[in-house]
Amino acid sequence: MKNLFQIIRELVANDPHLIGQHASERLEERGIMEWQAVVGLDEGRFLLDRPEAEPHPTVEVAENLPDGTEFKAVWAYLAPSNVAKLVTVHFFDQD
């Protein structure tokens, strides 16, 4: 059986994903392009899963920008529609 991280990675790789409004604002604020968060998930390092998170289960993933800067991305699994959603991003050394 696939774990939550695997499910989200496969969904994003096959394109059924959304970028939430909050995530879009944080991406812009932090100078990260949407495509960087999407592409970064494939090579991302699993940090934590929260299967009981509300309203949707989430995973936290360490991802890297092309220059090597590491950031955390939080992805949710929207089971009813079988879609992954980027919830937020932030750099590890900042709130």
**CATH code (residue 48):** 3.30.2310
pLDDT band at 17 (very low <50, low <70, confident <90, very high): very high
Q: Which amino acid, one-letter code, is at 59?
A: V
Q: Which amino acid, one-letter code, is at 65?
A: L
45 to each of 9, 22, 25, 29, 60, how far by Cα in Å?
A: 11, 22, 23, 23, 9
Distance from C-alpha of 90 to C-alpha of 95, rounded to nearest angstrom: 7
State the total domains in the chain. Answer: 1
Distance from C-alpha of 50 to C-alpha of 75, rounded to nearest angstrom: 10
Task: Please report, in angstroms and rounded to a whole number, the separation of the first and last CA atoms in the chain.
Answer: 35
Per-residue pLDDT, averaged over 33-41, amounts to 95
> Can you give the pLDDT at residue 2?
82
Containing domain of residue 32, as a range? Answer: 4-91
Whether pLDDT at 64 is above 60 = yes
